[in-house]
Structure 1
Amino acid sequence: MAHLLGAENVAVAFATRTVLDGLSLGLEEGDRIGMVGRNGDGKSTLMRLLAQRQQPDSGRVTKRGDVSVGYLDQQDVLDGDLEVGQAIVGDAADHEWASNPKVRDVMGGLVGEVDWHARVSSLSGGQKRRVALARLLVGDDDVVMLDEPTNHLDVEGVAWLAQHLKQRWRTTAGALLVITHDRWFLDEVCTRTWEVHDGIVDPFDGGYAAYVLARAERDRMASVVEGKRQQLVKKELAWLRRGAPARTAKPKFRIEAANDLIADVPQPRDSVALSKMATARLGKDVLDLEHVSLAFDGARPLFDNITLRLAPGERLGIVGVNGAGKSTLLRLLNGELEPTSGRIKRGKTVKTAILTQEVRELDELADKRVIEVIQDERNVFEVGGKEVSASQLVEQLGFGTDKQWTPVRELSGGERRRLQLLRLLVGEPNVLMLDEPTNDLDTDTLSAVEDLLDGWAGTLVVVSHDRYLLERVTDHQLALLGDGKLRGLPGGVDQYLELRHAAGASASGAKTGPAAKSGPAAAAPGPSEAEKREARKEVNRIERQLGKLAQQAERLHAQMAESSAGMRLDELAGLNARLQAVEAERGELEEAWMEAAEAAGE
């Protein structure tokens, strides 16, 4: 495989802390690499170095001269004055970008529901992220580097992105480097994994499942004794082997050693035992939504006559399209909202807690230290039938001895999220609701969170686009499809994606006429081969006309620019009128081109 770019003996330090230490590695054609590691260990720094967006303190980054690199930063900033279409394809005419199947695929997968003419400044953070990702993917870069691309994508968007990246290049062409906490995505897309830790990078073959197995095998062979960390890895292995056998078919090294390692590991969760414990604490009644409808300001109902009954110890996952009401459903269950009609029945002993996406609840505790936030609740806690101190409990979620005395205001986003979750748990709720809990958390921390949830007795409701998390900590899932209804998913997330695909195909089949200029063109409803041939001829004819009109417009612009200083006002107005007529004709032809292109299947 041909070498594309690489780092030679690079080092980076911040203040007194060395983040990368004498590191040498490279990207070859055909590489599909996922980077994992704890927050703050240098994943984003390494990506910026390889993308040549940051210079190392020592060493160098080299790139083959003809290699182009596309890079998506976590803080990518778009020009807020641009329209969505301009931000993605620049000034290209509709017929120019719409004739490219890859561009049409990107548009449909990421921004199909975004107003094509909206100003970027008017978009939500998630929409801006989608537009920035689309702008990158419509290009033809040899290397694509993505830093947390799945943030703000729903389950459907993550699945689309995985499929796009798998098909973007030939197997031996191009290169992908991605940082993400989405472990399903890593398994689906990546064929190699880089673990960044302690200033170095350890390479592994395979995606996340292979990496977990290989890391445990590496630690076993090296006789590494890491009590808490090893227990987490073992439990993760137990789930991978028993709960998701399809994933473990991917690694090509010995599975036998991993089987020996986990032979005496218990099941990750005893659902029966949890149900008994939860019933003792909760009683028979938990939370019931009965024939609930909810609408805001006379708008179309967000929920329309839905019924949901939560049982003691139930572990429920919720997926759905953006704007379908997932977070609102949690607020209803938490008692923050009252339904427009129907009723919410709440058990007498129910105590709820909700982890919001914003985590603003810690703002009032900014000056307190991490350990003090937990000690304010109690000094001793019971977890999984064992008593642990506040310090031990805090350490389970990655706050070491030094970090426990850090003021809350100095914590990173991921650390704040961990602390908020821990604070909710020590309040001893018996119904816990998590709204996109994986935001800002690295894969090791996610494993620790899941381990903590395994031993937590209560009813759990999780809203997340993270398929791995949903399959790991919940026993069944429900879908919100944007029609005001709740739908059961006995087939899990795969069934949800099938439903969404079927709904999209049905909607496309119902459309007629040319596609609107607000976005990607819809497919024509099955023309015959003869009709397709005629449509292709029409496409070619229109393209020739568009070319001539473009030349006319260019000449008129040149005349107006060269002669405006000495030209009479009526002459200038005449040229401008001719230019407007040309532009109007171009617009009509572009619409006709798009209609013909649909019929031709282009």
Structure 2
Amino acid sequence: MAAHLLGAEGLHLEYPTKVVFDSITLGIEEGDRIGIVGRNGDGKSSLLGMLAGRIEPQAGRVTRRSGVRFGVLDQRDDLDPERTVGQAIVGDRAEHEWAGDARIRDVIDGLVADVPWGALVGSLSGGQRRRVALAALLIDDWDLIALDEPTNHLDVEGIAWLANHLVNRWPRHTGGLLVITHDRWFLDEVCTETWEVHDGIVEPFEGGYAAYVLQRVERDRILAATESKRQNLMRKELAWLRRGAPARTSKPKFRIEAANQLIEDVPPVRNPIELQRMAVARLGKDVVDLEDVSVSYGDHEVLRDVTWRIGPGERTGILGANGAGKSTLLGLVCGTVQPTSGRVRRGKTVRIGLLDQQFSQLSDIADDRVREVLARHRTTFMIDGKEHTPAQLLERLGFDRAHLSARVGDLSGGQKRRLQLLMLLLSEPNVIVLDEPTNDVDADMLAATEDLLDSWPATLIVVSHDRYLLERVTDQQYAILDGRLRHVPGGVEEYLRLRAAQESAAAGGRPDQATGAAATTGSEISGAERRAAQKEMGAIERRMSKISTTIEKVHAKMAAHDQTDFDGLRTHTDELRILEDEMAGLEEQWLELSELVE
């Protein structure tokens, strides 16, 4: 029988305007790997906070087995900005102590190999700080670990490394893991149980995300009268899991016969032939062609000799490490970046809609009410042969009708993301470009977004570190490797193999970052070329500095705010997330230039 690690009994938590949990009782045993899912605002982080002892419930108690070591990664770190990266991760350990530990070296290589070991924490970007905080946690021995959105700021490779680390961290039937994440691939890869937080309760499901979808469909079928919308959506999700990704559902706990029975009358997720026919009708045969395109900053080529002909109705995912050139590639497609050589041709009827990370589409309408914004668009849209009003489309994305009268600037991060996507779709683009669309959204909204995109007759280009999303909404993937665009028929798995081979080939001549040696970045450049690169980076750095100052002010406001004012704290939290999302987007652009001046 598995040993008990932690238990919670009769927990009650409420704020002045909301009861978060009424009376919940749950336990964590040795060997548990638990994923926590639920809509934004339903209490996932509050649950983790109570279990970790950082939030005091109004009633009930949390108990731990004597001697249990419990490590926690919050969404905010408590790193000392005056310490170096090395000090923040390994503390005052002598170098021979930690450098001789294979697990510590693996954590450092997996998470912070590209972060200067001697840099001050206060000088790091938000993404770098996040990875340093995660590394500092994972090098220590813990019986139980709780992680709140650990995949934020990690690229596909980093997420794959973290999943492998957690799967193999403890011997079988020992250790415990609690993780909040909207990354559904990560949930399936790591977790053996799923807790859904909803309506003031915590409902357990066996297995990872795929098994959770099956069990939720069964639950929703029983409650069909009140859950019909969610039932239909999740049945479609289950159909994709069974038909499109058999490896995900091959685990013994996933009841295949029951799944097949549930989806026997569900049509394929999308009809690619019909979508292509409709896309050709709207676009013609010419969309965007990149012909022998290169983009350089000084002598440093970000992209080289890229030839890519984008066809009508194609659904393409773009893979690449942070700084590989994904934002530059999107800029070429959208016309915001001009090639150094080669040419870009766009069809005469092409209308591009871009969903970026900075909510730029909403900046000019922050003072308008949502209802007023929707009223400016035409009254109905045809989707799957049915007419939809803008308000119905927004509701389909999980937007509460009660918020239609709210001002755009007062919406939460998740609500803004829903409205931003709707605004993009209402502009009726025939080429949709999504740049990291999973920020600020929960699994339910991701499923709703994917459902809507399934029937939207447009060419789709997606850049995302969320491999589940890429596999779900795109039919082919390309990767940026060494500045070149390469088709990867094997998808994310093939890309990871190629990157591993690339890293292995380069490892022979690369100094060890953790010992303080400087990393090489390629050929030497002249002073003039360095100045040119720095000029390109200057505007980005100034904007990042302003955002950093604003983030510090928001943190100060939160610290001084009445901690019982739940709505006020949530407003500050939403403001903080928007700022951090914009900072992440700027960091991505900055990384593409940084190799020249390192």
Interval containing the TM-score (normalised by the shorter chain): 0.7 to 0.9
Q: How does 1:102-113 map to 2 (within 5 A)?
A: 102-113=103-114
User: What is the SS of the residue equivalent to 1:26?
Assistant: strand
Cα deviation per residue 1:550-579 (whole Å; 9 max; x = unaligned)? xxxxxxxxxxxxxxxxxxxxxxxxxxxxxx
Indicate yes or no: 2:73 matched with 1:72: yes
Q: What is the deviation of 1:252?
A: 1.9
Q: What is the deviation of 1:230?
A: 1.2
Q: What is the deviation of 1:225?
A: 4.5
Whole-angstrom distance in 2 between the partners of 1:130 and 1:81: 17
Residue 507 of structure 2 aligns with which residue?
A: 508
Q: How does 1:357-376 map to 2 (within 5 A)?
A: 357-376=357-376
Structure 1 residue ranges, 4+ long, deviating more than 3 angstroms after superposition: 221-225, 509-512
RMSD: 1.7
Q: What is the deviation of 1:510?
A: 4.1
Matched letter for residue 509 of structure 1: G
Cα deviation per residue 1:36-94 (whole Å; 9 max; x = unaligned)? 11001100110011011111122122222311211111122422222111111112222
1:394 and 1:404 in contact (8 A); partners too: no
Whole-angstrom distance in 1 between the partners of 2:332 and 2:124: 26
Residue 400 of structure 1 aligns with which residue?
A: 400
User: What is the SS of the residue equivalent to 2:515?
Assistant: coil
Q: What is the deviation of 1:6?
A: 2.0
Residue 516 of structure 2 aligns with which residue?
A: 518
Residue 495 of structure 1 aligns with which residue?
A: 494
Residue 143 of structure 1 aligns with which residue?
A: 144
Indicate yes or no: 2:347 matched with 1:319: no
Q: What is the deviation of 1:222?
A: 4.9
Cα deviation per residue 1:161-199 (whole Å; 9 max; x = unaligned)? 000001110111110000001100000000000000000
Residue 29 of structure 1 aligns with which residue?
A: 30
Whole-angstrom distance in 2 between the partners of 1:156 and 1:351: 33
Residue 304 of structure 2 aligns with which residue?
A: 304
Q: What is the deviation of 1:367?
A: 2.0
Distance 1:291 1:100, change over 3 A: same
Q: What is the deviation of 1:240?
A: 0.7
Residue 90 of structure 1 aligns with which residue?
A: 91
User: What is the SS of the residue equivalent to 2:68?
Assistant: coil
Cα deviation per residue 1:407-446 (whole Å; 9 max; x = unaligned)? 2222221221111011101100000000111111111110
1:294 and 1:340 in contact (8 A); partners too: yes
Residue 554 of structure 2 aligns with which residue?
A: none
User: What is the SS of the residue equivalent to 1:226?
Assistant: helix
Whole-angstrom distance in 2 between the partners of 1:313 and 1:474: 11
Q: What is the deviation of 1:200?
A: 0.2
* Residue ranges of structure 2 left out of the alignment (5+ in a row): 520-598
Distance 1:475 1:116, change over 3 A: same
Indicate yes or no: 2:348 matched with 1:341: no
Matched letter for residue 193 of structure 1: T
Question: Could you say which structure has the larger radius of gyration?
Answer: 1
Q: What is the deviation of 1:142?
A: 1.1
What is the total number of aligned residue pairs between the two structures?
518
Whole-angstrom distance in 2 between the partners of 1:369 and 1:519: 54
Cα deviation per residue 1:276-327 (whole Å; 9 max; x = unaligned)? 000000001000111111122x141101121111000000000101101111
Whole-angstrom distance in 2 between the partners of 1:326 and 1:453: 22
Moved more, 216-225 or 450-459: 216-225
Whole-angstrom distance in 2 between the partners of 1:265 and 1:108: 45
2:113 and 2:514 in contact (8 A); partners too: no
Whole-angstrom distance in 2 between the partners of 1:237 and 1:515: 44
Distance 1:77 1:480, change over 3 A: farther
2:117 and 2:514 in contact (8 A); partners too: no
Whole-angstrom distance in 2 between the partners of 1:291 and 1:33: 48
Whole-angstrom distance in 2 between the partners of 1:436 and 1:108: 25
Residue 258 of structure 2 aligns with which residue?
A: 257
1:292 and 1:305 in contact (8 A); partners too: yes
User: What is the SS of the residue equivalent to 1:295?
Assistant: strand
Whole-angstrom distance in 2 between the partners of 1:115 and 1:337: 30
Matched letter for residue 124 of structure 1: S
User: What is the SS of the residue equivalent to 1:433?
Assistant: strand
* Residue ranges of structure 1 left out of the alignment (5+ in a row): 522-602
2:371 and 2:404 in contact (8 A); partners too: yes
Residue 244 of structure 1 aligns with which residue?
A: 245
Matched letter for residue 183 of structure 1: R
Distance 1:253 1:317, change over 3 A: closer
2:148 and 2:179 in contact (8 A); partners too: yes
Whole-angstrom distance in 1 between the partners of 2:27 and 2:317: 39
Q: How does 1:199-218 map to 2 (within 5 A)?
A: 199-218=200-219
Distance 1:157 1:520, change over 3 A: farther
TM-score (norm 2): 0.84
TM-score (norm 1): 0.84
Q: What is the deviation of 1:387?
A: 1.0
Whole-angstrom distance in 1 between the partners of 2:363 and 2:13: 32
Residue 220 of structure 1 aligns with which residue?
A: 221
Whole-angstrom distance in 2 between the partners of 1:42 and 1:385: 38
Whole-angstrom distance in 2 between the partners of 1:467 and 1:276: 27
Distance 1:299 1:74, change over 3 A: farther
1:36 and 1:194 in contact (8 A); partners too: yes
Whole-angstrom distance in 1 between the partners of 2:379 and 2:197: 35
Whole-angstrom distance in 2 between the partners of 1:202 and 1:313: 40
2:220 and 2:228 in contact (8 A); partners too: no
Cα deviation per residue 1:501-557 (whole Å; 9 max; x = unaligned)? 111211223458x87722799xxxxxxxxxxxxxxxxxxxxxxxxxxxxxxxxxxxx
User: What is the SS of the residue equivalent to 2:174?
Assistant: coil
User: What is the SS of the residue equivalent to 2:349?
Assistant: coil
Cα deviation per residue 1:177-234 (whole Å; 9 max; x = unaligned)? 0000110000000000000000001101100000000111122245554222111111
Whole-angstrom distance in 1 between the partners of 2:410 and 2:513: 50
Residue 537 of structure 2 aligns with which residue?
A: none
1:112 and 1:520 in contact (8 A); partners too: no
2:381 and 2:387 in contact (8 A); partners too: yes
User: What is the SS of the residue equivalent to 1:267?
Assistant: coil
Residue 557 of structure 1 aligns with which residue?
A: none
User: What is the SS of the residue equivalent to 1:486?
Assistant: strand
